[in-house]
Copies of this chain bind each other. A is one copy, B any other.
Amino acid sequence: MKATIYDVAREAGVSIAAVSQVMNGKGKISEERRGEIIKIMERLNYQPSVIASALTGKKTYTLGLLVPDISNPFFAEIARAVEDQGHHMGYSLVICSSDNKDERVERYLNLLQQKSVDAMIIGTGMDNKDMLTPLMERAIPIAMIAREMPDIDVHTVVVDDFVGGALSATHLLDLGHRRMAILAEHSKVSSSRERVRGFKSKLEEAGAQLPENSVRNCHYVVADGKREALELLDQSNPDRPTALFCCNDLLAIGALQAAKQLGLRVPEDLSVIGFDNTILASVTDPPLTTVAQPIEPMGKMVVDLLIQELKKESKAKQRVVMRPELIVRQSTAAPTECD
């Protein structure tokens, strides 16, 4: 059994508060008594635990990470980047999957506060920003990653989603597409909203327009993308698009599966663009043209910002916007006009 603060206190005949004061160099204990207690600590090989430090108001060296779904490869890659930089700086990572549901977000925010995480990284959408108030009142540093909540005063590390949408539109317009549609995520997901806005703005500049009902909000799973794409690509749809812009790679895979089911060839009959450039994008049939987020630098940056705040090196909240990159693979080509 490892020695606890109680063992030290018992052996020294003092309260655990006194032992804690010795550790922290505080309190009104005589130098002589302090020396005796330190000798007892050494003799018992007492190592103050992170837990004990937390109780005395010190750090737990734990970061909380709240994402929609850790089994979504994009967030798994984000988690790995955060984990690596966290461990590099001496912090470990508690991970929670919210499924973008407010009641899960709230439950996990409470849980992570109970665990006394030093700081919180949020990569999930939420409708109700008041859920963050308790953390902010307790001065727990917060950073958003790959998501934004402009109304609240927190660090933010995002890719320029608007530019990502615009790059996708420009690519499709340059290829000659005019009838396009979008598989978006739920409207509460800020990153998805910006991607759609960037895409539409380039279309408007070019005098092209999205037909009515051609921006579909999906849950972020393959099956949802497939279902919406099947509707959009239906033969009876007079505005049947020649290209789909998908707000993440999972939805793009759903689009590929829908095209296959309908006998549409990609890219000859349908172009598909994804977003995120996860490991999935390079293994699909055909490999996906997609917008790459710089995941590793984003994970590193979010940890560094929080640690700077924890160390009181910087108080100013920062919004860091990283540039996305369009990765052209084989899922996009000029449209074949056949109607």
- Judged by a CB distance under 8 angstroms, whether A70 is at the interface is yes
Chain B residue nearest in CB terms to A2: B138
Tell me how many chains of this kind the complex includes: 2
A285 CA / B330 CA spacing, docked (Å): 12
B283 touching A286 by the CB < 8 A rule? no
Of the residues B15, B222, B256, contact of A17 by C-beta under 8 Å:
B15
Q: Report chain B residues within 8 Å CB of A16.
A: 15-17
Chain B residue at minimal CB-CB distance from A134:
B2
CB-CB under 8 A for A4 and B52, given A80-B97, A284-B284, A285-B284: no
Contacts A17-B16, A283-B253, A284-B283; is A94 near B5 (CB within 8 Å)?
Answer: no
CB-contacts of A279-328 with B (<8 A): 279-280, 283-287
Q: How far is the CB of A251 from chain B (nearest CB, A)?
A: 12
Best-buried of A60, A94, A138, A256 by chain B (most CB within 10 Å): A94
In the assembled complex, the Cα of A15 lies from the Cα of B9 at a distance in Å of: 12
**Interface: A23 (CB within 8 A):** no
Known: A93-B94, A138-B1, A283-B285. A80 touches B73 (CB 8 A): no
* Structural contact, B94 and A112, CB atoms closer than 8 A: no
Besides A50-B115, A83-B97, 5 new A-B residue pairs in contact (Cβ under 8 A), listed by A number: A1-B138, A71-B73, A73-B279, A283-B283, A284-B285
Q: Is A116 located at the chain interface by the 8 A CB criterion?
A: yes
Q: Are B95 and A79 touching (Cβ within 8 A)?
A: yes
The reply on A51 being an interface residue by CB < 8 A is yes
Residue pair A111, B97 in contact (C-beta under 8 Å): no
Whether A92 touches B112, Cβ cut-off 8 Å, given contacts A60-B51, A253-B283, A280-B280, is yes
| A54 and B57 in contact, given A92-B112, A94-B93, A285-B284 (Cβ under 8 angstroms) | no
Residue contact A92 to B111, C-beta cutoff 8 Å: yes
- Docked CA distance A138–B2 (Å): 8
Complex: chain B residue closest to A76, CB-CB: B76
Q: In whole Å, how far is A82's beta carbon from the nearest beta carbon of chain B?
A: 10
Q: How far is the CB of A226 from chain B (nearest CB, A)?
A: 11
Contact residues, A86-133 vs B (CB, 8 A): 87, 92-97, 107-108, 111-112, 114-116
Which of A71, A97, A285: most chain B Cβ within 10 A?
A71
CB distance from A138 to the nearest CB of B (A): 7
List 20 A–B pairs whose Cβ atoms lie within 8 Å, in order of A's numbering: A4-B55, A49-B55, A50-B114, A50-B115, A51-B54, A51-B116, A60-B115, A70-B70, A70-B76, A70-B83, A71-B77, A73-B279, A87-B108, A92-B94, A92-B108, A93-B94, A256-B283, A283-B283, A284-B284, A285-B285
